Structure 1
Amino acid sequence: MRRKTKEIQCGNVMVGGNHQVSVQSMITSDPRNISSAVAEILRLEEAGCDIVRIAVPTMESAKNIYDIKKQTTIPIVADIHFDYRLALESIKQGIDGLRLNPGNIGDEERVRKVVNQAKKNRIPIRIGVNGGSLEKQLLEKYGHATPEALVESAMGHVRILEDMDFDDIVISLKASDVQLTVAAYQLISKKVHYPLHLGITEAGTVKTGTIKSAIGIGSLLLMGIGDTIRVSLTGDPVEEVYVGKQILKSLGLKQGEVTIISCPTCGRCNINLIKLADEVERKIGQLKKPIKVAIMGCAVNGPGEAKDADIGIAGGIDSALLFKKGKVIKKVPENEILATLLYEIEKM
């Protein structure tokens, strides 16, 4: 059972409570280039991203937020480090959320200015602790990044906000080490009721990062821990969204979208199943229909093993059987499989 957390609103997306786990990503564009930032955000939104984060390293970047938001609809979170003025300007320009650590943006007066404006505009703040950038005193205390060190760092920032009567808080504790990250989230989940943002930071390239992220994020979600996720990959951010959504679909945590299952093929397969599966995924991967589609290579893995699928095909000799809920409907020539399947899905 999923851990019950405080409900937080980020733009038009609800995080925590009983709401679905949301998928986040971060653009690689510099917000000083408005057209580039907008184009990337629109691509992420089309891929199914729920919340997008942008780096705000300069005042010019902060001032461009209004124009960027005018051309997009997805909630945008400003990533702020050290300069409290960037947070104030981002709020002024209509940002939907802040990612900052209050202990890193100056003295109490500066933090209070940000907190007051965030509270006034109902802007949530995500405290983001990374294993590679822990405070010096914590590294001296624990010797290196440990789950306890990550949690102590986060709780220190939480107390700053709570002391200022602010509790629209989301917390993340990320490291590139999967076991360290999982242990840290397990520990903090017992201490706070705030929503947790999951991720394995600096996970690596699309291939290696996908595996590390799926293991780390998936493990925590299976424990009922986590309210929103970001898969960090060295690659196109759209890939982050794809992987994040697949993690949720694999665990049954993403409702209202198509799920595709397919077999790995073997010597019994007499059609080009790999190409077919890729084509089906490309055509309907983002379809907003709560259906399961099966792409199976032969009768052995066909209607029987995929009988819970709403619709699917099972390969034969230069042909395939089209089935629905395990019942064979008709036989289709190989060159008509894709078109027939897409047509039947469209009718559903």
Structure 2
Amino acid sequence: MSDQELQPLAPRRKTRQILVGKVPVGGDAPISVQSMTKTDTRDVEATVNQIYGYANAGCEIVRVSVPTKKAGEVFHEICDRSPIPVVADIHFDYRLALVAADGGAACLRINPGNIGGQDRVRAVVDKAGSLGIPIRIGVNGGSLEKDLLEKFGTATPEAMVESALRHIEVLEREGFRDIKISLKASDVIRTVQAYRLLAKQVDYPFHLGITEAGTPFGGTIRSSVGMGILLAEGLGDTIRVSLTGDGEDECRVGHEMLRALALRSGGFRMVSCPSCGRVQIDLNRVANEIEEGLKAINHENITYAVMGCVVNGPGEAKDADLGVAGGAGEGLIYRKGELIRKVKEEDLVPAFLEEARKVKAEADAAKA
């Protein structure tokens, strides 16, 4: 069965829809992939360059921290030059939220409860409302209010939900409902339970994530398990894979997660076998070099297979749009189930990428 024929495991939770710049979030909009810059925001060039790298890797909304007055002063330059909508990440100082809103923020990420009294919340809400900017309420299990920690003893899912409802009530008191919500903890179970609980009580769109998920290895696993559970249940409208590492990898993992659950199409899917004693080519090298080469070919909804031997290889390769099955120091390249080339191992990667470029050129010609 092709990726296009797969169907999500559960219907999407019905939410109200907001606009982050030109990107719709919630309702029936596609689930968007987000990341956050890791540069010093005061360094405009480095920040903008990083955003472009993220966008090329599939990022659709980017969050930028605005922690100081100086960062606020240059924030408008980043928004002006960014190819994708920019969310301003604000903590404590409501004045930075006002500056970021005037500077072109497509969304404000705040906790209404930590920016001061209702008069300060009202100032931010009035500014956001006048400019059509939504607000993301970000609840983090590691920074809950002290009274909630005392009440629940620790950052339980129930405590996280109560915090979110408290922040929501602060905004709703001002008549503001252009909201999305995140409920992140650093472990999968609390995060899943918190989102499930809140989903029963509000219809605002959710931004999913496992906060401080970890290094690329552990963080990818925790993010995939936690968000995978929620996405499979129909929860989630935007996602961020939080990794201690390259933000571009966050975006690629996010898109792969959504494609695996039939929630997004586009890009390519590569199937490769884990290798075993039957393999007679350097499969690790071939698979990694092919995957890296495919990143430079801008293609959509294509499945590639890189298989190591003649047991499962021909079948998997035939099922793919383009596939290779390894042999004794050689490989057979299949296109749509038909054998098209037999090449030596040293020629496998360039030959495969050559055929991939032909697939791309033919797809472009068919669209023209």
The verdict on a shared fold, with TM-score over 0.5 as the criterion, is yes
Moved more, 54-63 or 232-241: 232-241
* Selected match of 1:347 from 348, 355, 358: 358
Determine the structure 1 residue equivalent to 2:336: 325
* Selected match of 2:143 from 125, 133, 136: 133
1:165 aligns with 2:175: yes
Determine the structure 2 residue equivalent to 1:182: 192
Instruction: Give secondary structure in 2 for the equivalent of 1:317.
Output: coil
Conserved? CA contact 1:314–1:321, under 8 Å: yes
Conserved? CA contact 1:130–1:174, under 8 Å: yes
Conserved? CA contact 2:305–2:316, under 8 Å: no
Matches within 5 A, 1:67-82: 67-82=77-92
CA displacement 1:290-335 (0-9 Å, x = unmatched): 1111111112122313443111111111211111233322322222
The residue type paired with residue 203 of structure 1 is: A
TM-score normalised by structure 2 residue count: 0.91
Percentage identity across paired residues of the two chains: 53
Tell me the distance in 2 between the aligned counterparts of 1:324 and 1:2: 35
Tell me the distance in 1 between the aligned counterparts of 2:104 and 2:191: 32
Instruction: Give secondary structure in 1 for the equivalent of 2:223.
Output: helix
Q: Which runs of 5+ in 2 are unaligned?
A: 1-10, 360-368
Tell me the distance in 2 between the aligned counterparts of 1:93 and 1:189: 33
Moved more, 236-245 or 268-277: 236-245
Moved more, 270-279 or 232-241: 232-241
The residue type paired with residue 295 of structure 2 is: G
Matches within 5 A, 1:133-152: 133-152=143-162
Conserved? CA contact 1:303–1:328, under 8 Å: no
CA offset at residue 128 of structure 1?
0.5
Conserved? CA contact 2:317–2:324, under 8 Å: no
Determine the structure 1 residue equivalent to 2:269: 259
* Selected match of 1:215 from 208, 225, 234: 225
CA displacement 1:157-213 (0-9 Å, x = unmatched): 111112212111110001112101100011111111111111111111121111111
1:270 aligns with 2:292: no
Tell me the distance in 2 between the aligned counterparts of 1:335 and 1:306: 19
Determine the structure 1 residue equivalent to 2:62: 52
Tell me the distance in 1 between the aligned counterparts of 2:264 and 2:286: 24
1:310 aligns with 2:321: yes
Determine the structure 2 residue equivalent to 1:229: 239
1:240 aligns with 2:240: no
Tell me the distance in 1 between the aligned counterparts of 2:212 and 2:167: 22
The residue type paired with residue 180 of structure 2 is: V
1:296 aligns with 2:296: no
Tell me the distance in 2 between the aligned counterparts of 1:278 and 1:64: 40
Tell me the distance in 1 between the aligned counterparts of 2:55 and 2:14: 27
CA offset at residue 232 of structure 1?
1.3
RMSD after superposition: 1.4
Q: Which runs of 4+ in 1 moved over 4 A?
A: none
* Selected match of 1:156 from 154, 160, 166: 166
CA displacement 1:4-52 (0-9 Å, x = unmatched): 2221111122211222211111111121111121121121112111111
CA displacement 1:124-166 (0-9 Å, x = unmatched): 1110001111111111111111111111100111111122121
Conserved? CA contact 2:80–2:104, under 8 Å: no
Moved more, 337-346 or 55-64: 337-346
Matches within 5 A, 1:59-138: 59-138=69-148
Tell me the distance in 2 between the aligned counterparts of 1:190 and 1:303: 48
CA displacement 1:210-231 (0-9 Å, x = unmatched): 1111111111111111111111
Determine the structure 1 residue equivalent to 2:22: 12
Tell me the distance in 2 between the aligned counterparts of 1:216 and 1:98: 25
Tell me the distance in 2 between the aligned counterparts of 1:229 and 1:332: 41
The residue type paired with residue 45 of structure 1 is: A
Conserved? CA contact 2:268–2:304, under 8 Å: yes
Instruction: Give secondary structure in 2 for the equivalent of 1:340.
Output: helix
Tell me the distance in 2 between the aligned counterparts of 1:5 and 1:219: 19
Conserved? CA contact 1:303–1:327, under 8 Å: no
Determine the structure 2 residue equivalent to 1:201: 211
Tell me the distance in 1 between the aligned counterparts of 2:206 and 2:81: 29
Tell me the distance in 1 between the aligned counterparts of 2:79 and 2:138: 23
Conserved? CA contact 1:3–1:225, under 8 Å: yes
Tell me the distance in 1 between the aligned counterparts of 2:81 and 2:299: 23
